[in-house]
Structure 1
Amino acid sequence: MNRTLLGLILLAVVAAVAVGVSMLDLSTLTRNVTTRDPVSVSIYYGGEKSALLRNEKVQRILEGRYKITLQATKAGSVEMVTTLPVTGRDCLWPSNMVAVELARDSGRTVLGDETIFNSPIVFYAWSDVADALIEAGAVRAREDGFLAADVQAMGRLIEAGTRWKEDLGLNIYGPFKVFSTHPAKSNSGNIWSGLLATVFNSGQTPTQDSLPAVLPRVTAYFDAMGHMEASSGDIFENFLKQGMGARPIIVGYENQMVEFLAENAQYADLIRSKIRVLYPEPTIFASHPLISLTPACGRLAEALIDPELQAIAWADHGFRTGLIGVENDPADIGVARLPETVALVVPMPSAKVMEEIIEAVR
């Protein structure tokens, strides 16, 4: 075979390969999921993620792109990693990185964890409550227009036994307190207990050595709370339904208001006129780690960091990404205004310290 003929044959082969590659769906080369076998994944998840998992766009990605049939049960973030039975569960999806260590300390077999989202803890207050706290010097308007809550100042109001009616001039019975979920069951209450311990410890994150001095004050605070919900979603719903007299101010996640307004646009003007979002200074970020208990969880972990799903979680639900190198643009959210970044963040106490707090308030 002469060289000219050989060259023509090679050229034809290269051309045929090029045409074949151009007809491929390149996404299947980089995300080889459409040819995978379907998988069923069973999880416990924190209640603040309920709307996200109901989102039809999210479900299409999970079921269509990743072939996942999700069996999801709502549970308190602390409960799922400490006391709930996990036989038959593939993943735990709490709302706190400390939960990973709590899971290990509770005997769960943790194969790995992946931080999916971050949500700063915020306070939700009725407008009259926010105005009273501004008057008391515990809340101020920031230069960017958002409201900041001085957590140390709020701690002083709690320690002084400040009363809603007598001292703050509001028609609310009892002493001032920020209502939360149960710290031994739900993450938002758990984070608030850790932040409150830091407040009572003169702004320093408590250690196992310093905790004994502040723990009685933390437990006394929660003992006086009365009934505490076991889910962040439940306390937010009750806050909206029961009004200022029952829940003047609560601990929640930044994304909860975004979700509510996205699903209830008809109430947007009313909500914006009646409710204020207060950003604690300092605050604590609630990370949302997906904890793998079985290899089947790996498929869900891959799906949840899918760029399209992450974009939906931000635009529709206000979940800030937990991925390195990915940024969230507040302009993507049409129903609410969020700050581009959240500063003045303090760390959670260690898992050992939080275990002592959980046991004390249980």
Structure 2
Amino acid sequence: MNRSIIGLIILLVVAGLAAGISFLDLSSLTRQVERRDPVEVSIFYGGEKSALLKNPQVAEIIENRYKITLNASKAGSVEMVTTLDSTGRHCLWPSNMVAVELARLSGKPVKSDETIFNSPIVFYAWSDVADALTSAGVVAKRNDGFLTADVQALGKLIEDGARWKEDLGLNIYGPFKVFSTHPAKSNSGNIWSGLLATVLNGGDVPTEESLPTLLPRIEDYFAAMGHMEASSGDIFENFLKQGMGARPIIVGYENQLVEFLNENANFADLIKSKIRVIYPEPTVFASHPLISLSPVCDRLKEALIDPDLQAIAWAQHGFRTGLIGVENDPSEIKAAALPDTVSLVVPMPAAGVMQRVIAAVR
């Protein structure tokens, strides 16, 4: 064989080996860059997110894609940012942006916050209750079929001392009330106390100056409520279990019925015939901020804003995204119908005002 040909073959073999070694080295370097050391992240989270965190697909993303071992404890959204000891916790995940400022006011070492989801506050009512409130002019059906409640008319029923049996014609004992979780412990109850304060203030968001005349009325309302659950998940479960006599109408999150129907498809027809979702007008958006108390929390933030996790949270759990530029398509939710948007929204009172409300009802 010609020496020049042999030399060319040898050169090509050497070049090929060099390229292969280079490729292997680059691949190794790339894998090393992508490889993350496992990390444990300890958090308090609001009970309305329990089903989401138990979702195997969500757990797979958090554990395998982001190498996170999650040490998660359920707590009331207000409790976690005020009275609970957060020593050793890397993140707090409540359900209200006011909670971020409450955490700062309580001395928590807040480093940053990121809104992960949004959930409008809704009322869940038994069908007979919804019908009675419709007859009373409080609830109406929109052109798109969704039910809405005039919160000012609702507030008038409360202020006038309307009674379920005598004034609304329902076989329910006692004065009319919208039941909620404890405002000093749980976010849905806290939001309802803020919305109620706005209603009692003639539709204007209360300030430090207007609050003194409102506080006794708010305090009396919740004092007469009796036992109040500390978790939004608990009151929704008790609402379904105990029936109309015990919990005629409650405050909850839009996503809760979606989750229930996804997990209990065999009850879908019964629930849809007996339960009505009513959108307060105006309502309040419950944002779900991830509050970072430690740099370790940043890894969990990455996982929670992962597009795949966000898609699961919407389609299976009904959580509207909190990310800018991302839209949710209601057709992706098979369990229940949700409106495209919720437009009539009122802000929560300032954190200082809500601190005084919490102190009054505690």
| TM-score category, normalised to shorter length | over 0.9
How many residue pairs match? The answer is 347
Which is greater in Rg? Answer: 2
5+ residue gaps, structure 1, are 1-8
| Aligned partner letter, 1:236 | F
CA 1:24–1:82 in structure 2 vs 1: closer, same or farther (change >3 Å)?
A: same
Distance 1:212 1:302 in 2: 43
Residue in 2 that maps onto 1:48 = 48
Distance 1:272 1:49 in 2: 22
Question: What is the SS of the residue equivalent to 2:165?
Answer: coil
Check whether the contact 1:96–1:187 (CA below 8 A) recurs between aligned residues.
Answer: yes
Distance 2:183 2:343 in 1: 24
Residue in 1 that maps onto 2:4 = none
% same residue = 76
Per-residue deviation, residues 106-165 of structure 1 (Å, max 9, x unmatched): 000001100000000000000000000000000000011000011000000000110000
Write the mapping of 1:338-357 to structure 2, written as runs, cut at 5 A.
338-357=338-357
Distance 1:150 1:216 in 2: 23
Write the mapping of 1:1-362 to structure 2, written as runs, cut at 5 A.
34-362=34-362
Distance 1:155 1:205 in 2: 14
Distance 1:252 1:24 in 2: 50
Distance 1:117 1:305 in 2: 9
> Structure 1 residue 93: deviation in Å?
0.2
Per-residue deviation, residues 30-71 of structure 1 (Å, max 9, x unmatched): xx9850100000000000000000000000000000000000
5+ residue gaps, structure 2, are 1-11
With structure 2 as the length reference, what TM-score do the two structures score? 0.92
Distance 1:273 1:61 in 2: 36
Distance 1:203 1:143 in 2: 25
| Aligned partner letter, 2:147 | L
Distance 1:73 1:194 in 2: 26
Check whether the contact 1:34–1:66 (CA below 8 A) recurs between aligned residues.
Answer: no
Runs of 4+ in 1 over 3 A off after TM superposition: none
Question: What is the SS of the residue equivalent to 2:178?
Answer: coil
| Aligned partner letter, 2:132 | A
> Structure 1 residue 73: deviation in Å?
0.4
> Structure 1 residue 214: deviation in Å?
1.2
Per-residue deviation, residues 212-248 of structure 1 (Å, max 9, x unmatched): 1211111110011000000000000000000000000
CA 1:35–1:154 in structure 2 vs 1: closer, same or farther (change >3 Å)?
A: same
| Aligned partner letter, 1:303 | A
| Aligned partner letter, 1:87 | T
